[in-house]
């Protein structure tokens, strides 16, 4: 046996446990879920019919299709707002904060990660309530005469999401910024570029990989989140995770829940494929 064959066998031996784990806990359950999505519920019995009726129903029944639209709208809005807030924050930490204090600044920026996700959501519910800090402050400074409804709306869901994902994007963008050589800015200044043009035409394009990576993570975590929309958004606009839990908890319709889950997985896969393709093109 040649050395090359020995190296291949050794490499395969290292990879095999990961392959077994992936097959046992991802591929097999996913295949079962796909098969279950091709069944339908009759009374309390699941009938395996191997048809696409559940998928047709999702795209033809307004209440189900709206869940896809609402999830995508909220996710895209949250991603855009988080990028617009996170990039300046990451830039300030990377360029304006002295290096010896940058670790402290990053630690303070990611402080929300140290608390429970459920606790953060309920904290925002208290803040955004009609007797919460936000309403009392707006009334106190004269912007509002009486409290308005923010809780149990899409706005509350977006606020809760943005609070969390700004920190995530700040980390990915900051890690990209600190790797940039200061010579880029110096070269742009030598060529006559102003500070704004250097930031817009040189620094910003070079941080796009960090932005895209953070945007993808935001998309995946946001579109699959159940807790924040349930606590802050109420049941006025149901997202896909809420629809899935509704099918499981109240109706016991496992085939429909599986079909919704497959569509959710397809959306995440499309987002991953688009991000990976863009990053690959950037490297070429």
**Alpha carbon distance 101, 108 (integer Å):** 11
Asked if 163 and 222 touch (Cβ cutoff 8 Å), the reply is no
**Percentage, residues of the chain above pLDDT 90:** 45
- pLDDT of 71 strictly over 80: yes
Whether the CA torsion 266, 269, 274, 275 is positive or negative: it is positive
Neighbours of 156 (CB within 10 A): 24
- pLDDT interval class at 73 (50, 70, 90): very high
Cα distances (Å, whole numbers) of residue 26 to 20, 31, 218, 237, 258: 10, 8, 22, 30, 14
Asked if 225 and 163 touch (Cβ cutoff 8 Å), the reply is no
Task: Provide CATH code, domain 64-283.
Answer: 1.10.3720.10
Range list of H helices, the chain:
3-22, 28-37, 53-60, 62-91, 99-109, 117-128, 133-140, 154-177, 183-190, 195-198, 204-206, 208-223, 227-228, 240-246, 254-283
- Would you state the pLDDT for residue 66? 94
The pTM assigned to this predicted structure is 0.90
- Residue 167, phi then psi, degrees to nearest 5: -65, -40
Q: What is the pLDDT of residues 92-144, one digit of tens each?
A: 999 888 888 888 888 888 777 777 888 888 889 888 888 888 888 888 888 87
Q: What is the pLDDT of residues 189-229, one digit of tens each?
A: 888 888 888 888 888 888 998 899 999 999 999 999 999 99
- Would you state the pLDDT for residue 182? 82
Q: What is the pLDDT of residues 8-26, one digit of tens each?
A: 778 777 888 888 999 999 9
- pLDDT of 1 strictly over 70: no
**Mean pLDDT over residues 55-81, rounded?**
95
Higher-pLDDT residue of 116 and 3 is 116
Q: Which two tokens stand for residue 117?
A: 């996700």
């Amino acid at each position: 046996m040649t050395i090359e064959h020995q190296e291949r066998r050794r490499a395969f031996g290292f990879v095999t446990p990961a392959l077994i784990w992936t097959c046992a806990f991802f591929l097999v359950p996913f295949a079962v879920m796909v098969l279950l999505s091709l069944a339908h519920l009759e009374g309390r019995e699941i009938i395996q019919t191997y048809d696409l009726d559940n998928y047709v129903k999702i795209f033809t029944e307004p209440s189900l299709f709206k869940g896809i639209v609402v999830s995508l709208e909220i996710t895209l809005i949250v991603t855009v707002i988080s990028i617009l807030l996170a990039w300046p924050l990451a830039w300030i930490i990377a360029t304006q904060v002295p290096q010896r204090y940058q670790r402290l600044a990053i630690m303070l920026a990611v402080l929300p990660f140290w608390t429970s996700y459920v606790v953060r959501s309920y904290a925002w519910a208290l803040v955004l309530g009609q007797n919460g800090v936000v309403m009392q402050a707006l009334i106190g400074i004269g912007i509002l005469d009486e409290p308005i409804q923010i809780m149990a709306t899409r706005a509350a869901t977006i606020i809760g999401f943005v609070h969390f994902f700004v920190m995530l994007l700040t980390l990915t963008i900051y890690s990209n910024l600190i790797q940039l050589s200061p010579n880029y800015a110096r070269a742009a200044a030598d060529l006559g570029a102003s500070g704004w043009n250097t930031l817009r035409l040189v620094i910003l394009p070079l941080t796009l990989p960090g932005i895209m990576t953070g945007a993808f993570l935001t998309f995946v975590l946001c579109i699959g989140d159940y807790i924040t929309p349930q606590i802050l958004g109420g049941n006025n606009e149901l997202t896909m995770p809420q629809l899935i839990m509704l099918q499981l908890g109240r109706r016991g319709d496992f085939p429909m829940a599986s079909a919704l889950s497959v569509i959710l997985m397809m959306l995440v896969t499309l987002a991953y494929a688009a991000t990976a393709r863009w990053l690959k093109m950037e490297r070429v």
